[in-house]
Amino acid sequence: MNVHAENQHKGYFCTMPENARLQSLLQEDERQFMEALFKTYFPLVCKSIYRLIPDMATAEDLAQEVFIKIWNRRDQLNEVYFKAYLHRAAVNMALDHIDKNKRRGGTHQELSPAVEDLRTTAPTVHVKETKQRIREAVDQLPEKCREIFILSRFEEMSYKEIAQHLQLSVKTVENQMITALKKLRVSLKEFLE
């Protein structure tokens, strides 16, 4: 991760650390900066959103909005560590979207109990389907429980950060984490022998 002066003449794709490269691009050429930023981090942003909102079209759409906001704020980014900033923006975008949906009265979580039973008690499972089943089990968690579990397990956020994001106490986050693990332990027991 060293910045070698001799590498800089090779252009932007040298061994400069990613963030410094993006920062210098931002000063030199906004458009090139945006393209580099987008192409480096769009998958990360998109996947972070997708884990919370398991619909790729919506995830891509919201990821686009994250980058639109970045572009509109491009003159205020000179102190930013982009990867963390984008990751946070992605999580916020997804959580806002879930909140808005909830206020409108519909979320993908509101499956009927019958559907849930079918999914969680389906009999034999092939190894290939394991990951799918784990995803489904996580998706079946109660809404807040699911959000907290995903933020902790996959978005590498501390309980304190999660508590701040969701405006909950750390205690609640800890309780919900254990609730999530207990529920998953039951619905995934066939994989936990």
Q: Is the distance from CB of 95 to CB of 147 less than 8 angstroms? A: yes
Q: SS3 letters for 127-144? A: HHHHHHHHHHHHHCCCHH
Closer to other proteins by CB, 80 or 188: give it.
Answer: 188
Tokens of residue 165, six digits:
């994001």
* 31 binds other proteins per the rule CB under 8 A: yes
CB of 6 to other proteins, least distance (A): 30
C-alpha span between 16 and 8 (Å, rounded): 8
Closer to other proteins by CB, 29 or 117: give it.
Answer: 29
Q: At what angle do helices 30-52 and 18-28 cross, to 10 degrees?
A: 130
Tokens of residue 50, six digits:
């997708």
Q: Per-residue x/- mask for other proteins, residues 73 to 102, rule CB under 8 A?
A: ------------------------------
Q: Which helix (H) or strand (E) holds 21?
A: helix 18-28
* 51 binds other proteins per the rule CB under 8 A: yes
Q: Which of 31, 83, 27, 32 is nearest to 13 (CA)?
A: 32
Interface residue with other proteins among 9, 103, 126, 182 (CB under 8 A) is: 182
* 109 binds other proteins per the rule CB under 8 A: no
Q: Is the distance from CB of 180 to CB of 145 less than 8 angstroms? A: yes
Question: CA 85: distance to chain centroid?
Answer: 12
* 140 binds other proteins per the rule CB under 8 A: no
Binding-site residue total for other proteins (CB under 8 A)? 50
Interface residue with other proteins among 2, 6, 11, 72 (CB under 8 A) is: 72
Question: Which residues contribute to the site for other proteins (CB under 8 A)?
Answer: 31, 34-35, 38-39, 42-43, 46-47, 50-51, 56-61, 63-65, 67-69, 71-72, 105-106, 130-131, 134-135, 138, 149, 152-154, 158-159, 171, 174-175, 177-178, 181-182, 184-185, 188, 191-192
